[in-house]
Amino acid sequence: MNLLVPIHKRVRQQGFEMATRQAWKCGVKANVVNRVVGVVKGRIVCVIEGVRAEISTPLNNALHDEGSSGRYVFIGGQCYEPNHVIDPGFSDLMFLYIKPKLQRHRYMTDDELAAILVI
């Protein structure tokens, strides 16, 4: 399962990776997510594969605060960002666009994600 998350200007200051991993109000479905995709204005800017969801605490989230209590943070996995182009296994999703603009996070299967991608 994939989780697409919109990265807003306010959280973009932390970097694309931390903004993508950060404390999301997901619910129990977060436990089946294995890839988190960060999207800025329809463009995929960060892909983290092989993640696991945990409830945010000061131990597992360096940016934990009172507002992130009860939210999920995604731990582990391999992160791909635009500056990692020469890394082996670089994600095929990078630099692609999605058709609908994201307002909130969305869960998608691989087939559903492939259907909304634009080159």
Q: For the residues of the chain, what is the DSSP string, one character each?
A: -EEEEE--HHHHTT-HHHHHHS-B---GGGGG--EEEEEETTEEEEEEES-EEEE--TTT-TT--GGGTT-EEEESSEEE-GGGTTSTT--TTTT-EESSPPSS-EEE-HHHHHHHEE-
Mean pLDDT of 38-57: 89
Q: Per-residue pLDDT for 50 more than 90?
A: yes
Domain boundaries, the chain: 2-118
Residue-level pLDDT at 52: 92
pLDDT digits (tens, 9 = 90+) for 79-108: 888 776 666 667 778 778 898 778 888 999
Q: pLDDT-derived band of residue 16, with 50, 70 and 90 as boundaries?
A: confident
pLDDT digits (tens, 9 = 90+) for 60-81: 887 777 777 778 889 999 888 8
